[in-house]
Amino acid sequence: MEHAQLVKISKRMSKALRHEPARAGLTLDAAGWVPVAEFLAAMHLDRATLDAVVAGNDKQRFAVAVGADGIERIRANQGHSIPVELGLEESQPPEMLFHGTAAASLSSILATGLNRGGRHHVHLSPDTATAARVGARRGGATVILTVLAGDMARGGHPFYRSQNGVWLTDEVPPEFIRTP
């Protein structure tokens, strides 16, 4: 299967697991998991395609695991706009994290900070290359912001690290953001 088709399927999967499971005919558990067999049927996918999307996703958006009951399940690692409890534990971030964004958003971000919008958390990257990929997803000029995560944590802002290495926090006030 070609890369463009896998990306399209990945986006459909993200929408179903992060934002609109009911629209896809899915019911997620409290932690965002759904049995793989149900997911494949609802999404009209075969297992080989699912495995290719999960393994080939550059951002490792999905997790597949076998539960205590022996049933294999899938969920999105983060980015939900629906209520889920991912079981994230507070973690000490590195001194600096990064956020890629559209240059057109810069003045608003510098005025109000980074806000989670409709999601559970603000997503931050551990390196500038990842931030650049994330920021480029909307097209146009991209700006990579440096977030003074160590200072934020010392100031009482909690951080969490998702299974795929994305750093999460509730917000980033403007005083902790640096521009290039």
Q: Residue 109 belongs to what domain range? A: 97-178
What CATH number is given to the structural domain containing 121? 3.20.170.30
pLDDT at 118 over 70: yes
Q: Average pLDDT of 43-56? A: 92
What CATH number is given to the structural domain containing 21? 1.10.10.970
Q: Average pLDDT of 58-66? A: 83
Answer whether 1's CB lies under 8 Å from 49's CB.
yes
Share of the chain above pLDDT 90, in %: 66
69 and 8, same structural domain?
yes
Angle at 128 between CA 117 and CA 55, to 5 degrees: 80
Determine the number of helices (DSSP H) and then strands (DSSP E) in the chain. Answer: 6, 11
Answer yes or no: is 83 within a domain.
no
Share of the chain above pLDDT 70, in %: 99
Band of residue 58 on the pLDDT scale cut at 50, 70, 90: low
104 and 70, same structural domain?
no
Answer whether 50's CB lies under 8 Å from 36's CB.
yes
169 and 101, same structural domain?
yes
pLDDT tens digit string along 77-111? 877 888 888 888 899 999 999 999 999 999 999 99
> Burial level of 40, CB count in 10 A (0-12/13-18/19+)?
middle
3-state secondary structure of 87: coil
pLDDT tens digit string along 138-178? 777 899 999 999 999 999 999 999 887 889 999 999 999 99
> What is the number of domains present in the chain?
2
Q: Average pLDDT of 30-42? A: 94
User: 12 or 120: whose pLDDT is higher?
Assistant: 12
> What DSSP state is assigned to residue 94?
P
155 and 107, same structural domain?
yes
Answer yes or no: is 105 within a domain.
yes
